[in-house]
Chain A
Amino acid sequence: MNTIILAGIGAIFGACGRYAITNYGKKNWPSFFPFATLLINLSGAFLLGLVFALHVSPFLYALIGTGVLGGYTTFSTLNVELLGKLKDHQTKNFFLYLLASYLGGLLLVFAGYYLGKIF
């Protein structure tokens, strides 16, 4: 099957998972910091590093890597939330969220990659 269709199918599940976690976070977690998006992005980065290191077939990679994990993590929500922190003059939370997402994501993609290399 075409990789574009596979990525689309995977994205359905990734996005619904993200939506479920975000909804859960809105109800149960403190609202001063976007914990839900951070958890989603960090766990997604870790898993993608892992999947990449396992050298799965291009079809499986399109479905799981590009589709599910690509659709699960989000760059746009992160930036709109960062913008919100700037607008509300929450400078400390802005930098904390920025560093945690960008540097934390990079660390976790490496962690997933080296874990996958072991197998």
Chain B
Amino acid sequence: MSDKVKNYLSVGFFAFFGGALRCYLNNIWAQSGTFFANVTGCFLLAFLTYFFLEYREGRDWLATGLSTGFVGAYTTLSSFKLDTLKQLLEASYLPAVTYFLSSIVFGLLFAALGMLVGKKVGQFFTRKA
């Protein structure tokens, strides 16, 4: 199988679980579910990105599937925007602004945290290997 086909299959396979998990969180926690998925996803993607920069184990399809497929589908910008739209249409301005700004701040914060942890864990595994 060519690497390209392998990567697409891997992205699709892992995306199923990312999208399903986000939908589940959305079903139980509504808008907070999307927020939770987005900030934890920022941590996970930064973790994976910087982990695989340190720890190259050769299976490109696995890194692509987990990051682009699973985490990419797990997080979403469109639903976050739609939530903000709904709040603005209902004229709940303070919650809308709070949700909007906290997504920006916590998204970056969790990405930075994921980067630090991912680097450390990657270096640890590389030293061991």
Contact = CB atoms under 8 A, between A and B. Distances in A.
B115 interface: yes
B49 to A, nearest CB: 6
Interface string A50-89: 0010000000001001110111111111111011001000
Interface of A: 3-16, 18-19, 22, 41, 44-45, 47-49, 52, 62, 65-67, 69-80, 82-83, 86, 98, 101-102, 105-106, 108-110, 113
13 contacts: A4-B20, A11-B16, A13-B12, A15-B18, A66-B79, A70-B76, A71-B72, A75-B38, A75-B76, A75-B77, A80-B42, A102-B104, A108-B81
Nearest to B111: A79
B68 A15 contact: yes
B85 A110 contact: yes
Interface residues of B, number: 50
Contacts of A78: 77, 107
A70 B44 contact: no
A108 B45 CA distance: 26
Contacts of B63: none
B45 A77 contact: yes
Given A11-B18, A48-B82, A80 B46 contact: yes
B19 A48 contact: no
A77 B111 CA distance: 9
B78 A7 contact: no
Contacts of A6: 23
Contact of B78 (A4, A72, A83): A72
